[in-house]
Amino acid sequence: MMNLYFNPRSRAVIAKWMLDECGAKYDLVHIDLQKREHKSPEFLAINPAGKLPALVDGETRMFENAAICLYLADKFPEANLAPKLGDPRRGRYLSLMVYSTSQLEPSMGDFLMNLETAPQRGWTDFKTALDAVERELGNGPYLFGDWFTAADVMVGSMFIWMRIQGKRTGRPSIDAYVDRVLARPNGLKLG
């Protein structure tokens, strides 16, 4: 059985959403952030960054949502959430997975905290990130057309995070996309 180290008020909800999309069986290990259980030596042995989520699957330990989602999509091929090895769409899929956390997440963080994004950073300003997502989404409904993939879990959850903070992007195609991913039966819920 897999263990997801979890707190409902953390980004661990992203990995949980992915597990549910996969139809995986797993146990939640509740981490009390107030008690700083995520900084304990036991937890740091799983995730040296001391952040949620973390996933343990037998001998495999994982941290970072993007890595966890990539791992789960490959572990549950029957859920059909990722282009397989050799599929030409795989490159764009891997790029979007990494982009979601390396550029979209920090640029959104800058925006939400009213920080300027210096061009020397490894990510763009949020307006440029929105342009990029709009372009990749095209007419949708998902990032790979009709096909819902793990890339929608990662990219979608970033915008759901923004909704939870009470903010919308103001880009009609992205806001409609967020409504769509929020409507998934196994998906994240606001509030």
Ligand X SMILES: N[C@@H](CCC(=O)N[C@@H](CS)C(=O)NCC(=O)O)C(=O)O
Interaction site with ligand X (CB under 6 A): 10-11, 38, 51-53, 64-65, 101
For residue 122, the one-letter residue type is: G
Residues in the chain: 191
Residue 162 beta carbon to ligand X: minimum distance, rounded to whole angstroms: 13
Locate 174 and state its tokens: 């992205």
Residue 9 beta carbon to ligand X: minimum distance, rounded to whole angstroms: 8
Q: Which is nearer to ligand X, 52 or 70 (CB)?
A: 52
Residue 72 beta carbon to ligand X: minimum distance, rounded to whole angstroms: 13
Q: Which is nearer to ligand X, 36 or 84 (CB)?
A: 36
Q: Which is nearer to ligand X, 60 or 172 (CB)?
A: 60
Residue 146 beta carbon to ligand X: minimum distance, rounded to whole angstroms: 27
For residue 184, the one-letter residue type is: R
Percent composition of the chain: helix, strand, coil (DSSP 3-state, to 5):
50, 10, 40
Q: Which is nearer to ligand X, 32 or 116 (CB)?
A: 32
| Chain Cα centroid distance, residue 45 | 23
Residue 30 beta carbon to ligand X: minimum distance, rounded to whole angstroms: 13
Q: Which is nearer to ligand X, 16 or 38 (CB)?
A: 38
Cα dist from 100 to 45, 70, 78, 129, 157, whole Å: 26, 12, 24, 10, 9
Task: Give residue for tokens 């992203």.
Answer: 14
| Euclidean distance between CA atoms 119 and 121, whole angstroms | 5
Residue 81 beta carbon to ligand X: minimum distance, rounded to whole angstroms: 17
Q: Which residues pair with 57 in a beta bridge?
A: 60
Q: Which is nearer to ligand X, 53 or 187 (CB)?
A: 53
| Euclidean distance between CA atoms 47 and 41, whole angstroms | 10
Phi and psi at 118, nearest 5°, equal: -70, 140
